[in-house]
Amino acid sequence: MASGNELIASGDYIKHHLQNLTYGQNPDTGIWELAHTAQEAKDMGFMAVHLDTLGVSFILGSLFLLFFYRIGKKMTTDTPSGAQNFIESIIEFIDENVRGSFNGKNPMVAPLALTTFIWIVLMNTMDLVPVDWLPYLAQQVGVFFGADPHHVFFKVVPTTDPNATFGMSIGIFILILYYSIKEKGAGGFAGELLFHPFGKMMLPFNLFLEGVNLIAKPVSLALRLFGNMYAGEMIFILIALLPFWIQWSLSLPWAIFHILIVLLQAFIFMTLVIVYMDMAHQKEEH
């Protein structure tokens, strides 16, 4: 039986793990600083940034681009080497998906799909790093710079931060709007919103239905990825609370299962991006 103290400790442990490293303006003192507690981070409001989310996702995205850029620069049309083979198979996989789902002509969609897929895979993969390693490392660095170890937060997986997933899905939403207006014309796009699916007589109802449909795209895109990764991370944290000698028997199967989720969620995100882009490019009435 866990005592009351232990319960509080585990609650703190979980909360600590789910708190981002937030930098913003302290509303009480007016000083720009790192939040010391979850409450402080919350009080900072919109004018704050999660340094861990931005940092990890920036590092991962840069690694992806750097790796692909270096291989792309010394691409050979002769027999490809190992790394080139690897990249070519990814490119081919993306290209196949784009060809299959996207019927318009836009040179941006395939690179967009590649970026989303690889970036999300990398960000999700951070979930497979044992939950305490990177936060512990961050804590040590924080202590080195004179911070209180209990106030150094570090959330490793960017996709468990809704800011990251919504940031991406809003980007996609902007592209959907842009290409819908560009390809269909403002009138065509408005017509799609107003006169579907029930014709002129039901205009307000149509607008409501299509409006929800449109807004649901970025929201579902972001929430699906966030929810899956957050839940996965949560389970890793809960497993980490167990006695150390039993942890492996749960965390190993979950990690193996999570590899599937990591790839699957990235794939779903990418596929939906391609499908949404395709819908934005479709001119004909349906």
Partner 1 sequence: MNINLTMIGQLIMFAMFTWFCMKFIWPPIVAAMDERKKRIESSLIAAERGLSEQKEAEQKAQEVLNQSKDQAAEIIANAGRQAASMVEDAKDVASQEADRIKTSAQSEIEQEAMRARNELKDQVSDLVMQGVSSVLSKEVDAKAHKGMLNKLSQSL
Residue numbers at the binding site for partner 1 (CB under 8 A): 18, 20, 22, 24, 41-42, 44-50, 53-54, 57-58, 61, 64-65, 68-69, 71-73, 75-78, 87-88, 91-92, 95, 107-108, 110-112, 114-116, 119, 158, 161-164, 166-168, 170-171
- By beta-carbon proximity to partner 1, the closer residue of 73 and 200 is 73
Catalytic site residue from 81, 85, 89, 220? 220
Catalytic site residue from 57, 169, 228, 251? 228
CA distance 135 to 5: 23
- By beta-carbon proximity to partner 1, the closer residue of 24 and 142 is 24
C-beta separation of 222 from 165 below 8 A? yes
The answer to whether residue 70 is catalytic is no
* Long-range Cβ contact pairs of 7-11 (< 8 A, separation 24 or more): 10/241
Q: What is the residue whose two structure tokens read 């990177």?
A: 134
What's the token pair of residue 57? 């996702």
Question: Within 13 A of 275's CA, how many CA atoms are on the CB side?
Answer: 9
- In the complex, minimum distance from the CB of residue 137 to partner 1, in angstroms, rounded to a whole number: 21
- In the complex, minimum distance from the CB of residue 188 to partner 1, in angstroms, rounded to a whole number: 26
CA distance 278 to 113: 12
Backbone angles phi, psi at 134, to 5 degrees: -70, -40
- By beta-carbon proximity to partner 1, the closer residue of 57 and 206 is 57
CA distance 50 to 19: 9
- By beta-carbon proximity to partner 1, the closer residue of 29 and 77 is 77
CA distance 154 to 20: 6
- In the complex, minimum distance from the CB of residue 54 to partner 1, in angstroms, rounded to a whole number: 5
The answer to whether residue 228 is catalytic is yes
The answer to whether residue 124 is catalytic is no
Active site residues: 220, 224, 228
